[in-house]
Chains A and B, each alone.
Chain A
Amino acid sequence: MLRAVLIKDLAISRGERRLFTGLNLHLDAGEAVELTGRNGAGKTSLLRAVAGLLRPEAGEIVFADLDPEAARAEHLHMVGHQDGLKSTRTAWEELRFQTLWCGGSPTTARQAAERFDLVRLLDLEVRRLSAGQRRRLALARLVASPRTLWLLDEPMAPLDAGHRLAFGALMAEHLVGGGMILAAVHDPLPVAARVVEVGA
């Protein structure tokens, strides 16, 4: 179980451009943090650095009591604005693969599809889905294979009002169960969250 994430004195540069320096952040079990800031401030880069996909220029990211490699492979989900879905495969094939890859089972994938109101869409090719439907399909693995830390990049943007509410309820559930959420947003999350401005 991952109990806390500490970000110490983090600095990230992309190419020649320094996005931010000296970022400190502490995320405890049951806590949500909203990363805000203007476009290009480095919110997505910060999420990718926590996921280990991007090397920070300076600073440290510590997963309490866990080896970073293991923490990233077993305790963390990242849903970016690119959803990693193959447009020529059916929604079910993609959901099933993503779920199995993250350690879930076909049963949990099916349950997640119900939870995200995707059952009618599972036979369709991904390219037939709308942006909101694709996002729900990408988010479904959060439920299909439970992991502690959710890294979300603008998770709500393409969702309609009803699904925003449903996903809000799901996030609240995750936090009550000791989960953690680190989300880059422009609109506030529908759950109580600490706000951290990136690149201020």
Chain B
Amino acid sequence: MTAFLILLRRELALAWGKGGGPLLALAFYAGVVTLLPMAAGRAPEKLAAVAPGIAWLALALSALLSLERLFERDFEDGALDLLSLGPASLEAVAVAKCLAQWLASGAPLALAAPIAALALGAPAKIIPLLMICGLFGGLAFAFLGGLGASLALGSRRGGLLVAVIVLPLYVPPVIFGAGALDALAGGLPWTGGLFLMLAYCLAAVGLSPLAMAAACRNALD
């Protein structure tokens, strides 16, 4: 457990260090949320109708930022050798990395999402659900993103490859989350969508570390 915490601390320091961290992700999020309504047109009522969906989709896109570096930097400079020879299993290493990714960018984004949604004209009653969806959906985004990052290890143009691998995996949480938000905004039953999204998040957190460890071993071999 202590080894896990040591690694988590280092991953957070790296994520918050130069050229990354929550600020960059937040700036990107703000950019996407500002651009989408410009493309969607000027009618405020039309915008308010799609606001929850936009806020939620922008979260998924922002989660793609800095994914490429999650394993690639350690792989390139040899630190992944050290990590795989350490006291914690590669599965635990993968969990620490994804958790740090979530803490450093996913969670701050989820907390910022309500501001964007309100600015776009979404009803205030969806705010708590948007934060819950953002936090847990962000967890799924981080772990699935880690999966994509580990599978792309060692390939050129890794960043693009990560996005291509990961975006299809982001489809279910985006559908479930946006469905729940839409239903709540429209006064319909919304718990079904939320529970489906939580289940998907749980599956991502539980299963993807096994796949990430296998992909890392394969890349090192």
Are the CB atoms of A73 and B79 closer together than 8 Å?
Answer: no
Are the CB atoms of A101 and B86 closer together than 8 Å?
Answer: yes
Partner of B78, one of A76, A80, A101, A103: A80
Q: Mark B70-87, 1 if CB is under 8 A from A, else 0.
A: 000110111111111111
Contact residues, B71-114 vs A (CB, 8 A): 73-74, 76-87
Partner of A82, one of B17, B78, B83, B84: B78
Question: Which 10 A-B pairs rank lowest in CB-CB distance, beginning with the nearest?
Answer: A82-B78, A84-B79, A84-B78, A84-B82, A88-B18, A100-B6, A97-B10, A53-B220, A101-B86, A54-B221
B13 within 8 A of A: yes
Give chain B's interface residue range (CB within 8 Å of chain A). 20 to 34
- Contacts from B to A (Cβ < 8 Å): 3, 6-7, 10, 13-14, 17-19, 73-74, 76-87, 220-221
A85 within 8 A of B: yes
A26 within 8 A of B: no
**A51 to B84 CA separation, bound complex (whole angstroms):** 10
**A100 to B7 CA separation, bound complex (whole angstroms):** 9
**Interface size in chain A (residues, C-beta < 8 A):** 27
Partner of B7, one of A52, A55, A78, A101: A101
Measured between beta carbons, the chain A residues less than 8 angstroms from B87 are 73-74, 101-103
Measured between beta carbons, the chain B residues less than 8 angstroms from A78 are 81-82, 85
Report the minimum CB–CB distance from B62 to chain A (whole Å).
Answer: 22
Report if A93-B13 is in contact (Cβ < 8 Å); known contacts: A73-B87, A82-B77, A100-B6.
Answer: yes
